[in-house]
Amino acid sequence: MMHVVLVEPEIPHNAGAAGRLALATGSRLHLVKPLGFSLDDKHVRRTGLDYWKEVDLRVWESFDELVAADPDARFWLLSSKAGRQHWDAGFRDGDYLVFGCESRGLPEAMVHGAGERALTIPMRTGGTRSLNLSTAVAVVLYEALRQVGGP
């Protein structure tokens, strides 16, 4: 099982798309507070996330709380500020793929502190500064699954 972590996500539809990806791949979705939206049943239904109840979801008060809950896990931090390309990582079953919020990404200190576990999705120079959050999750999650032999 792979783990998808969204740190302080702001847009419910991106979290919903990540939840759909997690459900489709047998992955677990972790949301780290604060969230820019509500997870109550009424709000989730209103945003069209009829599959949400089936998502293997964990919600955390902080990223540190998540790390403390699985201290031996490998956390890969995805950022446009990283230098190593995501396909150069050697993903393993049980890895955590960590993505920042839509407006700011992950904190720069966190990315630099990750060393070789800080990854980027390569893009052409002069193009866009980043991908949509749910698109980035899909790109990296499916590369990780390809490496470990599928969902």
Question: What are the residues whose beta carbons fall under 8 Å from the beta carbon of 60, sequence distance 6 or more?
Answer: 30, 31, 32, 33, 66, 69
Q: How large a percentage of the chain has pLDDT more than 90?
A: 75
Cα separation of 131 and 11, whole Å?
14
Task: Yes or no: say if 79 and 122 are a contact pair by the CB < 8 Å rule.
Answer: no
Q: pTM for the complete prediction?
A: 0.94
Q: Return the pLDDT at 130.
A: 78
In this structure, of 2-6, 40-44, 63-67, 123-127, the range with the lowest mean pLDDT score is 40-44
d(CA 96, CA 84): 17
* Number of other CB atoms surrounding residue 151 within 10 Å: 12
| DSSP helix/strand/coil, 89 | coil
User: Residue 34 maps to which CATH number?
Assistant: 3.40.1280.10
Pick left, alpha or beta for residue 93 (phi over 0 → left; psi -120 to 50 → alpha; otherwise beta).
beta
CB 78 within 8 A of CB 140: yes
Domain residue limits at 124: 3-148
Give the per-residue pLDDT at 28. 98
Is-contact 2 97, C-beta < 8 A? yes
Domain count, the chain: 1
